Amino acid sequence: MLNITDLHVRIGNLKIIQGVSLRAEDGEIVSLMGANGSGKTTLMRAVSGLGHITGGKVEFQGEDITGWSSEKIVEAGLIQVPEGRRLFPLMSVRENLEIGAHNRRAREKEKDSLEYVYSVFPDLKDISGQPAGDLSGGQQQMVAIGRGMMADPKMLILDEPSIGLSPIMTQKVFEAVKEIHRKGTAVLIAEQNIADVLEIADRAYVMEQGLIRLSGTAKEMLDSSRIRKMYLGM
Amino acid sequence: MNIYVLQAFLDGVLMGGIYALAALGLSLIFGVLKITNFAHGAMMTMGMYAVYAISVGMGIGPYAALPLAMAMMFGLGFLIQRVLINSIDHAPAYNQLLLTLGVAYILENVLLMVFTPNYRTLTVDAFQKAIHIGPLTVAPARLIMFAVVLAVTAGFYMLLYKTRVGRSIRASAQDEEGARLMGIHVKRIRAAAFGLGAVCTGIAGGLLTPVMSIYPTLGESFQLKCFVIAVLGGMGNLWGAFLSGIFIGVIESLSGYFLGGTWSEMLIYGAFILILLVRPTGIFGRGNRRES
C-alpha cells in the first residue's frame, strides 16, 4: 500500500530524515515509534506533501507520489490526521467533519461517512454545533480523526493522536483506530504511547535521529529487550 | 437634533459604506494570506478608472460598466497574487507586504501614464442631481452606492458561508495546513481570495466614480482608512468590517461638520488608537482562539 524507499527530507539546511525506508501493506496497522525530535512528524508530513524531499521515493498503491501536492495525495486516498489536529477553530464540529469530505472521491459518500463517524464517536453528535476551537483536547482529537475518516481514506496516517489526552480518551482513540482498521483502512500511526500502540499494531518501526533503528512485528518489539528497556521501563 | 447634524450623519453613513466594502476586501485578503495588502488603495483607484474608461469608451452608464470592471479587477487581483505574491510565499511576511507596496506604486504610475494626473469627472446628471428626502438632500448616486454596498456585502456573506468555495476560503484562513491536508487547493484559494478582495476595491472605487472627481493617487487616502477599519472590525470579520466602516464614515463626517475637515483625520486615528488601547483585538475582534 505505502512504500517509502530511502527517503531524505530537509527542513531549511537541516537534514532531518536521512534515508528512511518503511512499508505498510493493505489492511495493516503499522506503528512508527521514537522519542520527540526523532523525525516522525517530518517523515509523515513529507509523505503527505508537506515537506522538502531531497531524495528517495514514496509510493502509494504502486504509484510514485514523491513530490505530489497535498491535494493530489488526498485525492489518491492517503489521508493524514496531523499533529496538533489542525482543526478549523471557528467552524462547528459538523462543518469541520464536512470539510473532511472535500475531496472528489469522498464527496458522494459524505452522508454515509457522517453517520459512520457519529457511530464511532457518538459524543460528536451531541456537540456537532459547537465551534471546534471551544472543545477540549480529547474532543478535538475525535473531531480530527472523524474529519480524516470523512475523507474516505484508503490509508490513514495518524501523528501522535493520544498526545496530551487522558487515559480514558487515549483508550477511545485507540478503539477508534481499531474500528477504522476493521473497516479495511490501512493505518500508519506515530506514537510515544508504545505499550498501547503495540497492542493494536501489526508491525512497528523505531526511529532515532532521522533513521530507522529497529523494525519488526509488534510481538517482536514487545519481546525486544532494547524496547523494553528504552521505552517501556521494564 | 440639528438638521445639519442629521445631514452630516447621513453623508457619513453613505460614505462609510464605501469604506466598509473596501475594508472588507482588505480583511478577506488578510484572513487568507496573512498579509496587509498595501496595494488596496491603488486597486481601488484602478476600479475607479476601470469604470470611467469603460463608461466613456463604450458610451454606457457607470452602473452598466460596473460588472465588467468587477471582472477585470478579479482578474487583476488573481494575477497579482498568482504571479507575484505567490512566487515569494516562502519569504517572510514583511517582504510580501513590501511587494504589495511596490505593486501600489506601479498601478498608480500606470494610471498616471495612461490618464495623466488631471482630475476626471464622469457626469451623469440623472444620478447627480440632488433629491430631497424630508429635510435632507442627497444625490441619487450616493443612495445607489449604498444600496449596492449592502447587496454586495450580503452577497459576500452568502459566498463565504453558503458555498463550497466560501467554506474552503474560511478553512484556509483558519488553518492553512489543515485545509491542505483535507485536499483543499490552498494555492488557488489564496489567489481567489486576493481576486475577491480586488473585486471589493473595484466595486467600492467604481461606485465613487459618479460621485467624485478621480485622479490616480486618490486611492492613497483610502488605504490607511481601510486598514484602520479592518483592524477595528477584527481582521477577517465580515460584519465587523462593515459596521466599523460605517462608524468611521460617521466619525469623519460629524467631525468635519463640527470641527472642520482638518480635524476629521485626526479624530479617526485618535479614535482608532483609543479603541485599540481598550480593546486590542478591535471592536468586533474575537481575539485569538487558535491557542486552545
Give B194-222 as a DSSP string: HHHHHHHHHHHHHHHTTTS-B-TTTTHHH
- What's the Cα-to-Cα distance from A95 to each of A72, A87, A146, rounded to whole Å? 22, 10, 11
Please indicate whether, in this complex, the C-beta atoms of A86 and B181 are within 8 angstroms of each other. Answer: yes
Task: Considering only the beta carbons, identify the residue of B168, B177, B290 that sits closest to A50.
Answer: B177
* Residue whose cell numbers read 494555492: B187
The ipTM, to two decimals, is 0.94
* Average pLDDT value for chain B: 91
Question: Contact A99/B289, CB-based, under 8 Å?
Answer: no
Chain A nearest-CA distance from B172, in A, is: 9
Per-residue confidence (pLDDT) for residue A193, from 0 to 100 = 84
Task: Report the alpha-carbon distance of residue B251 to residue B154 in Å, rounded.
Answer: 24
Residue B133's pLDDT is what?
87
> pLDDT tens across B220-271, in order?
999 999 999 999 998 878 888 999 999 999 999 999 888 988 888 888 888 8
CA distance to partner chain B, nearest, from residue A178 (Å): 22
- On chain B, the residues whose CB falls within 8 A of the CB of A100 are 182
Alpha-helix residue ranges (DSSP H) falling in A48-121:
70-76, 93-100, 104-107, 110-120
Predicted pLDDT at B287: 54
Q: What is the pLDDT of residue B288?
A: 47
Taking the Cβ of residue A107 and every Cβ of chain B, the question of whether any pair is shorter than 8 Å is answered with no
Average pLDDT in the B11-32 region?
95
Q: Which residues of B touch A50 (CB under 8 A)?
A: 177, 180-181
Closest residue of chain B to A151, computed from CA coordinates: B182
Residue of chain B minimizing CA distance to A72:
B183
Contact (CB<8Å) B180/A71 = yes
- φ, ψ of residue A155 in degrees (nearest 5): -140, 135
- Span B203-230, average pLDDT: 94
Cβ contact, residue pair B167, A99, below 8 Å: yes
| % of residues, chain B, pLDDT over 70 | 97
| B235, three cell numbers | 481582521
Question: Which grid cell sits at A225?
Answer: 529487550
Q: Extract the C-alpha cell encoding B10.
A: 447621513
- Complete edge-to-edge strand list for the sheet that includes strand A186-191: A78-81, A155-159, A186-191, A29-33, A203-208, A211-217
**Which residues on B lie below 8 Å from A71 (Cβ)?**
180, 183-185
C-alpha span between B126 and B142 (Å, rounded): 12
Closest CA to B105 of B45, B149, B56, B157: B45
- Cβ–Cβ below 8 Å for A71 and B179: no
Q: Cβ contact (<8 Å) for B174 and A80?
A: no
Predicted pLDDT of residue B76: 97
Do A99 and B171 make contact, defined as CB atoms within 8 angstroms?
yes
Nearest CA in chain B to A85: B178
Residue with cell 466619525: B251
Count interface pairs A-B at CB distance under 8 A: 70
How close is the nearest chain B Cα to the Cα of A102, in Å? Answer: 7
| A147 touching B (Cβ < 8 Å) | yes
Is it the case that residue B292 has pLDDT exceeding 50? no
The predicted pLDDT at position B289 comes to 42
Report the predicted TM-score, pTM, of the whole model to 2 decimal places.
0.91
Q: How would you write the pLDDT of chain A (234 residues) with one tens digit per residue? A: 999 999 999 998 899 999 999 999 999 999 999 888 899 999 999 999 999 999 999 999 999 999 999 999 999 999 999 999 999 999 999 999 999 999 999 999 999 999 999 999 999 999 999 999 999 999 999 999 999 999 999 999 999 999 989 999 999 999 999 999 999 999 999 998 888 899 999 999 999 999 999 999 999 988 887 777 777 666
Nearest CA in chain B to A97: B182
A82 contacts on B by Cβ (under 8 Å): 177-178, 181
Residues from chain A contacting residue B177 (CB–CB below 8 Å): 50, 82, 86
What are the DSSP calls for chain B, one per residue?
A: --HHHHHHHHHHHHHHHHHHHHHHHHHHHHHHH-S--TTHHHHHHHHHHHHHHHHHHHT--HHHHHHHHHHHHHHHHHHIIIIIIGGGTTS-HHHHHHHHHHHHHHHHHHHHHHH-SS-B----HHHHS-EEETTEEE-HHHHHHHHHHHHHHHHHHHHHHHSHHHHHHHHHHH-HHHHHHTT--HHHHHHHHHHHHHHHHHHHHHHHTTTS-B-TTTTHHHHHHHHHHHHHT-TT-HHHHHHHHHHHHHHHHHHHHHH-HHHHHHHHHHHHHHHHHH-TT-SS-----TT-
Nearest chain A Cα distance for residue B130, angstroms: 45
Question: Per-residue pLDDT for B18 more than 90?
Answer: yes
Residues of A in contact with B171 (CB under 8 A): 88, 91, 99
**What confidence tier does B286 reach under pLDDT thresholds 50, 70, 90?**
low
Contact A49 B174 (CB under 8 A): no
For residue B240, the distance in angstroms to the closest alpha carbon of chain A comes to 15
Dihedral of alpha carbons B209, B213, B219, B221, sign: negative
B291, pLDDT greater than 60: no
